[in-house]
Structure 1
């Protein structure tokens, strides 16, 4: 459970800092156009901070970490988010300084999104297994708590 708490907290800090980087980096380069740097801030806060807080609540309610799929979800999802955010940050930074981004960066961001999606599927499979496991046990069911 604490792993989820610290991960969510970490994403909150990095998400806020990425927003600061976006604002200050574009201001320092007198850049007013569109860039993917703003997406880094949004991805980290929404997919990192908020989603993991929701997963923390699901852990508290259903014992999600007891599922054999939980660690697969956690590491796949987090790897996908880190790769996606890093690729967006590189692409956005290159845009601000006026350099062309390579298609490899877009491909890496795509792989990050695939890992995120795989993590979400694993989350639902883990949640399903815990709901089914607690359904027949009054001591651990939602209504039994």
Structure 2
């Protein structure tokens, strides 16, 4: 559970730093157009901090973190979000500097989205396994005997 707390905290700090970077960087270069830097702040706060706080509550309620599927979720999701956010930062910075983005940046960001998707699939599998149901109820009854 502490990993979830620390993840939420780190994404909060990164999200706030991204907002500051966007504001100061675009102001320093007198940039007024659209850039991915403008949404990096909210992506990190929503998909990072808020999401991990929600998962922390789910872990508290269903004891998810002891499950191998949950471990896979944690690493897939974190690596995907980090990769996606890094590419947003690179793409947005290039836009503000007036440089062209490359197809490689889009491809790497796409890989980040795939990793996030794999993480979410593993989270739902871990959650399904932890939910009370017929099989889980039978296992609990056997454990009591």
Q: Under a length normalisation based on structure 2, what TM-score does the superposition of the two structures give?
A: 0.91
Aligned length: 138
For 1:122 and 1:46, the matched residues in 2 are separated by 19
Please show how residues 27-46 of structure 1 align to structure 2 within 5 Å. 27-46=27-46
Q: TM-score w.r.t. structure 1 length? A: 0.91
Deviation readout 1:17-71 (Å, 9 max, x if unpaired): 0010011101011000000012211211111000000000000000011222011
Alignment partners' CA distance in 1, 2:10 and 2:117: 21
Which structure has greater helix proportion?
2
Distance 1:21 1:88 in 2: 13
CA distance in 2, matches of 1:102, 1:68: 37
State the Cα RMSD in Å: 1.5
CA–CA distance in 2 between the matches of 1:27 and 1:66? 46
Query: Which of the pair has more CA radius of gyration?
Result: 2
SS at match of 2:68: coil
Give unmatched runs, 5+ long, in structure 2.
none
Q: Which runs of 5+ in 1 are unaligned?
A: 139-145
The answer for the alignment partner of 2:22 in structure 1 is: 22
1:79 maps to which residue? 79
Q: Which ranges of 4 or more aligned residues in structure 1 deviate by more than 2 Å?
A: 132-135
- 1:63-94 alpha-carbon deviations (Å, 9 max, x no partner): 01122201100000000000000000000000
